[in-house]
Amino acid sequence: MLKKLINKYELSSDTRSLKENEIFFDLGSTPNCFGPYFLQALKKKPICVVTKNKKYNNIYSTKIYTVNNLLQFFRLSVIQKYKKKPNYLCAVTGTNGKTSVAHYFLQLNKLLNISCASVGTIGIYQNRKKIKSTLTTPDFLTNHKIFNQFYKNKISNAIIEASSHGLYQNRLFGFHFDCGIFTNITHDHLDYHKTKKNYFNAKMILFKKHLKKNSLVIIDTDIPEFKIISKILKQKNVTIASWGLKGNTAKIISIKKNNLSTEIKLNFLNKIYFLKTNIIGKFQLNNFLSALIACAKLGINFDKLIKISKRINNPQGRMQLIQKNKKIILIDYAHTPDALKNVLLETKNFFNKKVNIVFGCGGDRDIQKRYLMGRIAGKLADKTYITDDNPRFENPNKIRMQIKKGCNNAIIIPSRAAAIKQAIQELKNEVLIVAGKGHENYQIINNQKKYFSDYHYCREVLNL
C-alpha cells in the first residue's frame, strides 16, 4: 500500500514546505518516538506519515507507516520516484568560480537554442526562466525533484554547483554525472570543515562517488592540486580534459584588452581560434574556458561556440560592470582571500589603473580569513573602505577590527550604504570594487534580513 502511495503522491521531509496530501517522511524519529516536527506535519494534513516510531497509540486520523531503516527507504523512494533526469548532467565544484562556470554553460546552450538548466548560488534557471533558491546546492529531495522537473520540461542539458557542504551532507546522493568540473580550492568554510584537508576531501566526493563510467572531468593543470586530483581520477574510468600550460585539450595563448572587451587567442585540440568576449578578468576567462570545453565535449560545434562568445556576459554580481562618465565600478562576490586577491590584481591589470575597494566579512563564519583579506586589500588596493557584510549575530565592530589588523590604513564606515556612497564620491581616476556580496540583495543583521543590493545602490548613487 505504501509503495502505491509513493508512486501516486509527492514526497516531503520538511514541514516548512510540506503541502496537503503529500507523504511526510519523519526523518527525525526514533524507534521509540516521533520526530520533533511530527505534530507540525500533521497540521499540514499529509496523506500519510512514514516514521521509525513503533511505539505509538493509534489515535491519529492520518495514516502512519513504520519503517526500520527510514533514511535508506526515504532515499531509495526519492531516487526511484524522480528517476528520470535530463540527458546530460554536469556538476562543478571548487571554492571560487562555480557560479560563473554554471552561468556560462547555461548561456552558451541558450544562445544556440539548446534547452538547458542550471542550479546554483544565483538561483535555479530553466532556459530563460528563473526560480528562487536559497542554497548553492539544494537538499537531497529538492535536487531530485528539480532535475525530474527539468526532464518533464524537456531540458536536454543541466548543470549544478556542487558545494562542499552539499557534497559532505549527501545532497547529491543518487546522482551520477556525465561531466565533472573542478575550478580551484582556496581558504574558505573552515568554520565548518575545520581543516583544509577536510574541505578538499569534501570536494573530492564529487569525483569519488558521483561520476558515471566513461564520464568527463575538466580541470586546470596549473592549479597546485592537479597531480593529487589526477591520481584520484586515474582510479576511475573517466576521461580528463585539461587546460592550462600542460593541458591536453585547451591552452590560452594570449589575452588582449580591447576597450571593455577581451580578445583571446586559443589553442583547442591543436587548432587555433580567435574569440572576443565581454568577460573581464583572467580568472573569469578560465571559468569560461571550462564551460566552453564542457559544451564542446557534449558535442556542440566549437566554431559555433566561438562565434557566440562575444554575446556572453558575466553573471550577476561577478565582475559586474557599472560605468558612468569616468567612474568605473565592479560588483563582485569575492568573499575569500584568494578571490579578493584575484579581483584586485585582474582589475588593475585590465584597466591599468589604481583600484579602491569596499568590503567586509560575514559574521558567524570563518574568522581566520578576516585578517588575510585585510592584508590583501592593504597591499593591493590604493584605498580600502571596511564596512559590514552580513554580521549576523556577531559584533560588527569586532569583525571590522579583525579585518583592519591586516590593513592599518583602511577607512572604517559601518554602514554599507554610507561606505559605498563615500567611496563613489571620492572616486577619481581609480576603479572601485564593491566586494563580498555580489548578487545578494540583503544584509543579515542579528536575525533580521534587510533589503540591500550593492549593484542597485551603486546605480542609485550614480543616478543611473
Residue 135 scores a pLDDT above 70: no
Domain boundaries 88-311, corresponding CATH code: 3.40.1190.10
More confidently predicted of 281 and 12: 12
Q: How far apart are CA 319 and CA 333, in angstroms?
A: 8
Amino acid identity, residue 171? R
How confident is the model at residue 280, as a pLDDT?
Answer: 87
The topology under which CATH files domain 320-461 is Protein-Tyrosine Phosphatase; Chain A (3.90.190)
**Cell, residue 109:** 546552450
Task: Report CA torsion sign: 186, 189, 194, 198.
Answer: negative
- Whose CA is closest to 388, among 403, 368, 377? 403
Q: How far apart are CA 135 and CA 114, in angstroms?
A: 26
Domain ranges within the chain, ordered by starting residue = 2-81, 88-311, 320-461
* CB atoms inside a 10 Å sphere around CB 229: 19
Q: How far apart are CA 156 and CA 152, in angstroms?
A: 10
- HEC string of the chain equals CHHHHHHHCCEECCCCCCCCCCEEECCCCECCECCCCHHHHHHCCCCEEEECCCCCCCCCCCEEEECCCHHHHHHHHHHHHCCCCCCEEEEEECCCCHHHHHHHHHHHHHHCCCCEEEEECCEEEECCEEECCCCCCCCHHHHHHHHHHHHHCCCCEEEEECCHHHHHCCCCCCCCEEEEEECCCCCCCHHHHCCHHHHHHHHHHHHHHCEEEEEEEEEECCCCCHHHHHHHHHCCCEEEEEECCCCCCEEEEEEEEECCEEEEEEEECCEEEEEEECCCCHHHHHHHHHHHHHHHHHCCCHHHHHHHHHHCCCCCCCCEEEEECCEEEEEECCCCHHHHHHHHHHHHHHHCCCEEEEECCCCCCCCHHHHHHHHHHHHHCCEEEECCCCCECCCHHHHHHHHHCCCCCCEECCCHHHHHHHHHHCCCCCEEEEECCCCCCEEEECCEEEECCHHHHHHHHCCC
Residue 190 scores a pLDDT above 70: no
Counting Cα atoms < 13 Å in the Cβ hemisphere of 202 gives 24
Q: How far apart are CA 293 and CA 250, in angstroms?
A: 8
Q: How far apart are CA 384 and CA 130, in angstroms?
A: 35
Torsion region of 127: left, alpha or beta (phi above 0 gives left; psi -120 to 50 gives alpha): left
Report percent pLDDT > 70 for the chain. 98
How confident is the model at residue 372, as a pLDDT?
Answer: 96
Residue 370 scores a pLDDT above 70: yes
**Cell, residue 119:** 542550479
If pLDDT is split at 50, 70 and 90, which confidence band does 189 have?
low
pTM for the model? 0.89
Torsion of CA 322, 308, 90, 229, to 10 degrees: -80
If pLDDT is split at 50, 70 and 90, which confidence band does 259 have?
confident
Residue 128 scores a pLDDT above 70: yes
Q: Which CATH architecture has domain 2-81?
A: 3-Layer(aba) Sandwich (3.40)
Contact 52, 181 (CB under 8 A): no
If pLDDT is split at 50, 70 and 90, which confidence band does 134 have?
low
pLDDT in tens, 201-222: 899 999 999 999 999 999 999 9
How confident is the model at residue 235, as a pLDDT?
Answer: 86
- Whose CA is closest to 285, among 317, 254, 248, 247? 254
- Whose CA is closest to 164, among 199, 191, 140? 199
Residue 252 scores a pLDDT above 80: yes
How confident is the model at residue 282, as a pLDDT?
Answer: 86
Mean pLDDT of 336-365: 94
Highest mean pLDDT among 131-135, 275-279, 400-404: 400-404
How confident is the model at residue 345, as a pLDDT?
Answer: 96
Q: How far apart are CA 458 and CA 151, in angstroms?
A: 39
Q: Beta strands 320-324 and 327-332: pairing type?
A: antiparallel
- Whose CA is closest to 163, among 175, 172, 173? 172
Mean pLDDT of 263-275: 95
Mean pLDDT of 415-432: 97
If pLDDT is split at 50, 70 and 90, which confidence band does 138 have?
confident
pLDDT in tens, 13-71: 999 999 999 999 999 999 999 999 999 999 999 999 999 999 998 899 999 999 999 99
> Rounded to a whole number, what is the distance in angstroms from the first to the last CA of the chain?
61
Say whether 320-461 and 88-311 share the same fold. Answer: no
**Cell, residue 381:** 588596493
Q: From residue 47, give the alpha-carbon distance in Å to each of 11, 34, 40, 62, 230.
A: 10, 17, 14, 7, 49
Work out the mean pLDDT of the chain and round it to a whole number. 93
pLDDT in tens, 285-329: 999 999 999 999 999 999 999 999 999 988 889 999 999 988 999
Amino acid identity, residue 244? G
